[in-house]
């Protein structure tokens, strides 16, 4: 029987696992999260508040199918399991550690499979702003995760700022969890938004659930008097021990702040969301070719440039959970040996086509080059290593290696996941932060201890010792 490993248990990975099982494969699903569901279905054991989860019935169906398959021995679901290294040659080997990220003595295990579906998703991105290191500032995704998983908010009055439709569910979740949201600050221009989202409205209306979702957010924001302010950006966050207020400025089409348009909004929390950065490390390590836009390149069967490796979800383009689900179905089916052109995945192909239309509309929210104007010399850009803009400027002409060693930008705990693209924007050149021999944080001691015996739970799993 063919074994398909699925890296990532968000919408894309769960749909892939489901389709691969239906096509007769044995499936191993791996995710570093405590629970399956990924970012979209982040949750606690019980749902904290009504209205926070979308398409929850779909999630429970996918979860139940996996549980049934696992009970029958057709699937293994490995949560709290970080894949820290991928090898692709004559099959796939995924090197893993299981346990909480900061725990000691996590057992290591290698998963051996015939094919791999990469569904590692994306990080949400927040652009540096003076004052963004104050307590009370989070990414919009972190605010959303706190709300969805724990039903809590960081502040009592939260400004949501950045760009893109993701700001709306974040504002809605914060309102549902009890925070006031005085305003959603959107940097894109109203004309750009109207052109992108008003184009071919029948196609938008045909996207499953999207119009209803939009109406739900608009209604909730109207009831709570939350303003939606376009062509504006938070350009400074004020406070001494924690957030006290933000400066909002008008920005031009390229996001250059316009002098004399400052306005202060009082708040005790800020959620910043400037789009998403694909988690490409596993794909890069597997040798997958990337597109010019910096995503994993795939063909119609979701196959990457590496034989036996498929990709789905946010790593092939930012298009939302429905696109991830459709791509996951095709990827899982093809990875299990199915023909991606067959009628069995026709519905998924149709949904994928429709969601590409949705993705094109997101172009209206592309980050404008002018954002770097609001970053001051003493603004911290790399938070892990406290690297300020002035230090980056000082070493701007150094080699990539020289720049990284001299400034330490991107060398801290997050390994450039948070700051990498912003550092690249400020320098105007790539610094290679997505090329890592080790994909997940692990202790030196864990590497050294990998000879410790661990009992495999399935023939596709080997301990590091057995491989020698």
For position 304 contacting ligand FAD by CB under 6 A, the verdict is no
Please state, in angstroms and rounded to a whole number, the distance separating the CA atoms of residues 208 and 354. 9
Please state, in angstroms and rounded to a whole number, the distance separating the CA atoms of residues 244 and 424. 30
Among 123, 256, 352, 404, interactor with ligand FAD by CB under 6 A: 123
For position 12 contacting ligand FAD by CB under 6 A, the verdict is yes
> Which stretch in 69-77, 274-282, 391-399, 407-415 sits in contact with ligand FAD by CB under 6 A?
274-282
Among 108, 131, 169, 257, interactor with ligand FAD by CB under 6 A: 169
For 371-398, letters b (16+ CB in 10 Å) and e give: bbbbbeeebbbbbbbebbbebbeebeee
For position 446 contacting ligand FAD by CB under 6 A, the verdict is no
Nearest to 228 by CA among 193, 259, 177: 193
Q: How far is the CB of 251 from ligand FAD (least distance, A)?
A: 24
Please state, in angstroms and rounded to a whole number, the distance separating the CA atoms of residues 330 and 332. 6
Among 107, 108, 121, 257, interactor with ligand FAD by CB under 6 A: 121
Please state, in angstroms and rounded to a whole number, the distance separating the CA atoms of residues 166 and 275. 8
The DSSP H or E segment spanning 13 is helix 11-22
Q: How far is the CB of 279 from ligand FAD (least distance, A)?
A: 5
**Please, which residue, 209 or 377, has the CB nearer to ligand FAD?**
209
**Please, which residue, 251 or 318, has the CB nearer to ligand FAD?**
318
Q: How far is the CB of 432 from ligand FAD (least distance, A)?
A: 18
The site string for ligand FAD over 342-381 (x = CB under 6 A, - otherwise) reads ----------------------------------------
> Which stretch in 21-29, 63-71, 99-107, 122-130 sits in contact with ligand FAD by CB under 6 A?
122-130
Q: What is the DSSP string of 337-392?
A: T--TTSGGGHHHHHHHHHHHHHHHHGGGGPPPGGGGGG--TT-EEETTTTEEHHHH
Please state, in angstroms and rounded to a whole number, the distance separating the CA atoms of residues 360 and 187. 18
Please state, in angstroms and rounded to a whole number, the distance separating the CA atoms of residues 114 and 336. 9
Question: Taking CB under 6 A as the criterion, which residues in 63-82 touch ligand FAD?
Answer: 82
Among 326, 439, 450, 454, interactor with ligand FAD by CB under 6 A: 439
For position 282 contacting ligand FAD by CB under 6 A, the verdict is yes
Residues 6+ apart with CB under 8 A from 120: 7, 8, 278, 279, 280, 281, 282, 283, 313, 315
Among 3, 4, 8, 232, interactor with ligand FAD by CB under 6 A: 8
Among 5, 9, 28, 116, interactor with ligand FAD by CB under 6 A: 9
Asked if 26 and 70 count as a contact pair (C-beta separation under 8 A), the reply is no
For position 141 contacting ligand FAD by CB under 6 A, the verdict is yes
What are the distances in angstroms from CA 56 to CA 62, 67, 111, 352, 376?
Answer: 10, 16, 30, 20, 43
**Please, which residue, 256 or 417, has the CB nearer to ligand FAD?**
417
Report phi then psi at 248, rounded to 5. -110, 135
Among 279, 352, 421, 436, interactor with ligand FAD by CB under 6 A: 279
**Please, which residue, 212 or 369, has the CB nearer to ligand FAD?**
212
Nearest to 164 by CA among 45, 69, 272, 298: 272
Residue 125 CB burial class (10 angstroms; 0-12, 13-18, ≥19): buried
For position 110 contacting ligand FAD by CB under 6 A, the verdict is no
3-state secondary structure of 450: helix
Among 5, 27, 29, 38, interactor with ligand FAD by CB under 6 A: 38
**Please, which residue, 96 or 249, has the CB nearer to ligand FAD?**
96
Which residues are at the interface with ligand FAD (CB under 6 A)?
Answer: 8-13, 30-33, 38-40, 82-83, 119-124, 141, 144-145, 169, 276, 279, 282, 313-314, 320-321, 324, 439-440
């Amino acid at each position: 029987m063919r074994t398909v490993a699925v890296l990532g248990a968000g919408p894309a990975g769960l749909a892939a696992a489901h389709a691969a099982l239906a096509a007769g494969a044995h499936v191993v699903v791996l995710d570093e999260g405590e629970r399956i569901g990924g970012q979209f279905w982040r949750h606690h054991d019980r749902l904290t508040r009504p209205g926070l989860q979308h398409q929850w019935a779909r999630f429970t169906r996918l979860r139940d199918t996996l549980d049934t398959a696992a009970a029958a021995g057709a699937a293994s679901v490995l949560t709290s399991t970080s894949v820290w290294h991928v090898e692709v040659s004559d099959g796939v080997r995924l090197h893993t550690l299981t346990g909480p990220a900061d725990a000691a003595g996590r057992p290591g295990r290698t998963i051996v499979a015939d094919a791999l579906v990469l569904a590692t998703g994306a990080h949400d991105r927040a652009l540096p702003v003076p004052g963004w290191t104050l307590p009370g500032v989070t990414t919009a995704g972190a605010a959303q995760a706190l709300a969805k998983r724990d039903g809590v908010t960081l502040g009592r009055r939260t400004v949501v700022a950045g760009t893109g439709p993701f700001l709306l569910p974040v504002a809605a979740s914060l309102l549902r969890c009890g925070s006031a949201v005085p305003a959603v600050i959107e940097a894109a221009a109203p004309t750009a938004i109207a052109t992108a989202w008003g184009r071919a409205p029948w196609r938008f209306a045909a996207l499953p659930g999207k119009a209803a979702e939009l109406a739900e957010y608009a209604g909730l924001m109207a009831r709570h008097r939350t303003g939606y302010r376009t062509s504006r950006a938070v350009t400074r966050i004020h406070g001494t021990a924690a957030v006290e207020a933000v400066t909002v400025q008008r920005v031009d089409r390229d996001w250059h702040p316009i002098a004399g348009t400052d306005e202060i909004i009082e708040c005790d929390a800020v959620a910043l969301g400037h789009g998403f950065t694909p988690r490409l490390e596993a794909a890069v390590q597997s040798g997958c070719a990337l597109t010019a836009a910096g995503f994993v390149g795939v063909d119609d069967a979701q196959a990457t440039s590496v034989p036996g490796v498929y990709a789905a979800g946010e790593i092939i383009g930012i298009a939302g959970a429905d696109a991830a689900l459709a791509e996951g179905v095709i990827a899982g089916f093809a990875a299990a040996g199915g023909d991606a052109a067959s009628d069995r995945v026709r519905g998924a192909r149709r949904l994928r086509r429709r969601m590409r239309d949705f993705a094109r509309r997101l172009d209206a929210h592309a980050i404008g080059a002018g954002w770097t104007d609001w970053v001051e010399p003493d603004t911290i850009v790399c938070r892990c290593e406290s690297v300020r803009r002035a230090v980056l400027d000082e070493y701007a002409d150094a080699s990539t290696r020289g720049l990284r060693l001299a400034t330490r930008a991107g060398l801290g705990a997050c390994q450039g996941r948070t700051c990498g693209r912003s550092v690249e924007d400020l320098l105007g050149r790539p610094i290679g932060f997505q090329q890592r021999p080790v994909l997940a944080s692990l202790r030196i001691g864990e590497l050294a201890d990998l000879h410790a015996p661990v009992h495999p739970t399935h023939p596709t799993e080997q301990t590091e010792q057995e491989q020698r």
